[in-house]
Structure 1
Amino acid sequence: MPMLNVRGEEFHIRIDGAEGAPVLLLSNSLGTNLSMWDPQIPAWSQHFRVVRYDSRGHGRSPAQDKPYSIAMLADDALAILDALGIEKAHWCGLSKGGMVGQWLATHHGERLGRVVLANTAAHMGPPELWDGRIRTVRTQGMGVLVQPTLERWFTPEFRESAKETVAKVSEMLATTPAVGYANCCAAIRDMDQRESIRAIASPVLVVIGGRDPATPPAAGHEIADAIPGARRVELDAAHLSNLEQPAGFEKAVTDFLKG
């Protein structure tokens, strides 16, 4: 089922794992697609029915040029669950996917089991930074953002030692529709969940990249401090910690989800 019609819009999805297993829904970061989760799928699909999707305006999910919000992106995830007949799922989202997860856990906690919020933030300012990035990508395209983004997302030693992985992420960035990227930037710019996440009652694990300049450790600790009972784990990684520390990420999430 590579494409799923959701409320008249197409979303690219992939499902791995046995039917009847607990469902784990994965949500990608800004500028990537569902293949960012490839390293974790062999292990996670042994325990879960893993559903992943290209978020709106990313990968093979079409990019409509209209205002996006975190609430809209969360509604997409709910609609995908509905279209697949899934009442409840665990959640794992990284960066933008973690922002969507915060909104879902706040407003639709009954649809979620355990929630993993990785390398993310509840608020990301200043607005001028995002406005500048939106102008850049709309006028110059995605290519100009690729190298500086890779430098934020991976530590220098990982960029040197894991060139194949870095090249794959570079390709994801370069092929992300500029319109989809720009509108998701606007959604992040307008987001402030610092107070609302205090109402989250779901079990939460916050994964923090100890060397993450995009969503610094302080942002992860702020989330964990705000959500009652939230656990936290810090990995020696920059922003895409599931790629830089795949084994540690996979184990931390698996142990948490299996409770």
Structure 2
Amino acid sequence: MTSEFASASRGSRDLEVLSSDGTKLFAQEFGPGRDAPLLVFSHGWACQGRFWRPQVEQFAATHRVVVYDQRGHGLSDRGRVPFSAKLLADDMEAVVRAVATPADKAVVVGHSMGGMSIMSWAAEYPASVSELARGVVLASTGPSQLVDRSTLLKVPRQLRPRLERAFAASLAVAGPEMQGTRLSRRLIRYGTLGPGATAEVVDECADIVLRCPPQVRGMWGSVLATIDVSKGVDSLEVPATVIVGDADRLTPATHSVDLAARLGRKGVLFEFTLLDKVGHMSNLEAVEDFNSAVARLDKSA
């Protein structure tokens, strides 16, 4: 089993990981042998492993780089159990444990729902995080109140509660197959990218998002509408970097400011990076800054 990303990337190896409920997860490993430092990347809602192309291109020359498709995304199976925050933790536990060891720990990087996967992993498997991770990156993410804090829709304060309920309900709707029209690209650009995003980034982002099956988008959207993985923030015991764009509408910078403050009080915050004029897809929009932040944590951990 191979993916479009795999066929376009030299030196990749396909991995099949079984999660706790027996669901098959698709992962890919890039780079040199097992002696190289390990990075594991977890993507967000409606994306897939190829979302990490700019990071694979930079780090695979010197690192073992592992990316995986979240449950139901890309080439990973959906499984038969209802989607939940705990499943994010179970799947991350399976993937990281398949590639890391106490002697070969990983820096685990999560974007959006991938960051929530890290926080859920820390809540459900705190000993595993300390055993298998030497640091984590929480990028463009938040632990809870995703609907309340979203700035996608600007409305008067008195109408906000009603619109929040409607927005939460809309996340859970599977909806139609999204077509690659000019309108759909405009909507994706508005919702996920900052004002400085290039046409190439818009096209790449849209191509990734439009491939997500509607049912998967709806099922995970239902989880995200009410998710709360705050317990994982307080359970993290490894160095953590927080990254966010100041033009992020989906998970505005207020989430990351709060995350950084909580991690700072625990003494595990390594770095907080605020990216100017960058939207939700921070790793695609600000590749150099994003990769540099990952590299600094990797080097120190």
Q: TM-score, structure 1 length as denominator?
A: 0.89
Q: Which aligned pairs between 1:222-233 and structure 2 lie closer than 5 A?
A: 222-227=258-263, 228-229=266-267, 230=269, 231-233=271-273
Equivalent pair of 1:54/1:61 in contact (CA under 8 Å):
yes
Q: 1:44 aligns with which of 19, 44, 59?
A: 59
Q: 1:186: how far off?
A: 2.1
Indicate if the aligned counterparts of 1:63 and 1:179 stay in contact, CA closer than 8 A: no
Query: What amino acid is aligned across from residue 199 of structure 2 in structure 1?
Result: K
Residues in 2 aligned to 1:3 and 1:199: alpha-carbon distance in whole angstroms: 29
Task: Give the aligned partner of residue 206 of structure 2.
Answer: 170
Q: CA deviation at 1:217?
A: 0.8
Q: After alignment, is 118-127 or 63-72 more displaced?
A: 63-72
> What fraction of aligned residue pairs are identical, expressed as a percent?
26
Partner of 2:196: 157
Question: Could you tell me how far 1:195 is from its partner in structure 2?
Answer: 4.9
Matched, 1:75 2:75: no
Q: Describe the superposition over 1:199-222 as per-residue Cα deviations: whole angstroms up to 9, x where unpaired.
A: 321110000111111111111011
Read off the aligned partner of 2:16 and give its amino acid letter. Answer: L
What are structure 1's unaligned runs of at least 5 residues? none
Report the alpha carbon displacement of residue 17 of structure 1 after superposing the two structures with TM. Answer: 1.8
Q: Structure 1 235/156 Cα, relative in aligned 2: closer, same or farther at 3 Å?
A: closer
| Structure 2 Cα separation of the partners of residues 24 and 119 of structure 1 | 18
Aligned residue for 1:67, secondary structure, equals coil
One-letter amino acid matched to 1:188: L
2:158 aligned with 1:116? no
Question: Which position in structure 1 is the counterpart of 2:16?
Answer: 4
Corresponding residue pairs, total: 254
Residue 152 of structure 1, CA deviation: 1.8
Q: Which runs of 5+ in 2 are unaligned?
A: 1-12, 149-163
Of the structure 1 ranges 45-54 and 116-125, higher mean CA displacement relative to structure 2 is found in: 45-54
Q: Which of 157, 164, 169 matches 1:131?
A: 169
Match of 2:281 in 1: 240
Tell me the TM-score normalized by structure 2.
0.77
**2:178·2:184 contact (CA, 8 Å) conserved in 1?**
yes
Larger Rg: 2
Query: Counterpart amino acid of 1:11?
Result: L
Looking at structure 1, the residues matched to 272 and 257 of structure 2 have their Cα atoms a distance apart, in angstroms, of 8
Specify the alignment match of 1:91 in structure 2. 108
Q: d(CA) in 1 for partners of 2:287 and 2:78?
A: 29
Aligned-residue CA RMSD (Å)? 2.2
**Matched residue of 1:170: which SS?**
helix
Deviations 1:64-105 (A, max 9, x none): 464211221121121123344645421001111111111223
- The residue that corresponds to 1:206 in the other structure is 242
